Amino acid sequence: MSIIKKIITFRPSFTVRILTGIISMLVMLSVCTYVAISDQTALNRRDTNFRARAIEVGAKVYAEQCARCHGLNGEGIEGLGPSLAAESFVGRRTLREEADGRVTYQQVMPSKRIQDIGWVGTLESYIIAVTEAGIPIRTSNVWDVNHPPFLDRHGGPLRPDQIRDVTAFIVNWSLNPLPDDQAVLPPKPGEGLAPRPTPVPLTEAQERGKQVYLQAGCMACHAIRGVGNQGAIGPSLNKIYTVAQERIASDDYKKNIKDQPPATTPEEYILQSIIYPNAYIVPQCPQGPCPAGVMPANYKDTITPEDLERLVDYLTTLR
Ligand code: HEC
Ligand code: HEC
């Protein structure tokens, strides 16, 4: 009993009390620091989570700023922008979890594109450079547009951290890159500068058909290189004649055409697509699977039969 009483009534001097306080604080501080430093694993996990969040934010930036020219899945859009998800662009990487808990990229195949153009930095630095400052000249006449600058300092809409995040998102495609034959690839440096074949002059009727295309507002959703706005809701019509030939030969068309007899010529297919847009829904649009019921279904009533004929005649020149 007496020892407890002694502890309760113990009154050390003021200095001793301050010293004990300081010492116990120092002990506690060093314990905390030790725990924090030795728990490298948690620190590295945080690093990995940070990257995952950057990719997530980057996906949003990509959808808002890049998809309209590079395709929603990075497949590229003819005339508007090359694929950023193709294997030849991002290369191929796998993920490996290190002993310390960090998840790192392991390069299996490097980017062929940055080798082709002789970029000496990393793929990341190339993406950042192009995105920040744009490409003020057209490197090839396969593109109808110049690359806009995106950095806010250059008058663009993005902060440096958003550009870093969208870069992380693009580089992450290297885990599962798009096969090159499913992507719109850029021409090799120096190629694609040759003039395009001189277009065969349009006949009067075809010229009129082109005006119908412009006046009916088709370019709100479709793109024809150099003609009107480059819409990206419906498929590009750059080579619609060739595409029409492929469609009518495809199993998908034969199986899924409904309420209308299957077209047997490209001309029939093009006319059918315009006046009965829901008879057959094209599988792939620039922003993913084609939506049904989006293309107006009343052109049969709003465009005269003669103009429809001229419109189809014009579209058959796109091969
Ligand atoms: C207005 C259309 C357009 C938009 C929007 C656009 N790009 Fe591009 N992009 C292009 C074109 C065209 C090229 C090819 C330019 C050239 O080589 O002359 C290109 C090329 C690139 C390249 C180089 C690809 C290669 O194979 O060398 C990168 C990287 C790139 N864009 C990133 C982006 C990112 C990231 C965004 C969104 C923040 C974006 N782009 C938005 C049109 C666009
Ligand atoms: C509001 C958007 C929109 C407008 C406007 C529009 N289209 Fe479409 N078009 C689409 C969509 C989406 C598809 C793909 C879905 C489908 O097959 O119906 C399509 C498909 C097509 C196809 C088939 C393409 C292929 O690859 O097989 C042709 C041809 C076509 N449209 C021509 C036209 C013409 C010509 C006009 C103007 C008279 C026009 N479209 C107006 C959205 C539109």
Residue 139 Cβ contacting ligand 1 at under 6 Å: yes
Q: Which protein residue has the closest C-alpha to ligand 1 atom 32?
A: 131
Q: Which protein residue has the closest C-alpha to ligand 2 atom 17?
A: 281
pLDDT tier at 197 (50, 70, 90 boundaries)?
Answer: low
Choice from 227, 257, 295 to test ligand 2 binding pocket (greatest atom count within 8 A of CB): 295
Q: Which atom of ligand 2 is nearest to the CA of 218?
A: 37
High-pLDDT (> 70) share of the chain, %: 96
Buried b (16+ CB within 10 A) or exposed e, 225-247: bebbebbbebbbbbebbebbeeb
Amino acid identity at 148:
P
Ligand 2 is surrounded, with C-beta below 6 A, by: 213, 216-218, 220-222, 233-235, 240, 243, 247, 270, 273-274, 277, 281-282, 285, 290-291, 294-296, 299, 311
pLDDT tier at 198 (50, 70, 90 boundaries)?
Answer: low
Cβ contacts of 182 within 8 Å, gap of 6 or more: 75, 86
CATH 1.10.760.10 fits 204-315, yes or no: yes
Query: Measured between alpha carbons, how far is 46 from 42 in angstroms, rounded to an integer?
Result: 6
Do 89 and 113 contact (CB within 8 A), yes or no?
Answer: yes
Amino acid identity at 311:
L
pTM of the model: 0.61
Average pLDDT over residues 176-192: 87
Residue 80 Cβ contacting ligand 1 at under 6 Å: yes
Query: Measured between alpha carbons, how far is 25 from 31 in angstroms, rounded to an integer?
Result: 10
pLDDT tier at 299 (50, 70, 90 boundaries)?
Answer: very high
Amino acid identity at 294:
V
Do 272 and 255 contact (CB within 8 A), yes or no?
Answer: no
pLDDT tier at 228 (50, 70, 90 boundaries)?
Answer: confident
H-run or E-run covering 223? none
Q: What residues does each domain of the chain span?
A: 49-182, 204-315
Average pLDDT over residues 303-314: 97
241-259 pLDDT, tens digit per residue, is 999 999 999 999 999 999 9
Residue 183 Cβ contacting ligand 1 at under 6 Å: no
CATH 1.10.3470 fits 49-182, yes or no: no
**49-182 and 204-315: identical CATH topology:** yes
Position 195 scores a pLDDT of 58
Average pLDDT over residues 63-84: 92
Q: Which atom of ligand 1 is nearest to the CA of 150?
A: 38
Residue 223 Cβ contacting ligand 1 at under 6 Å: no
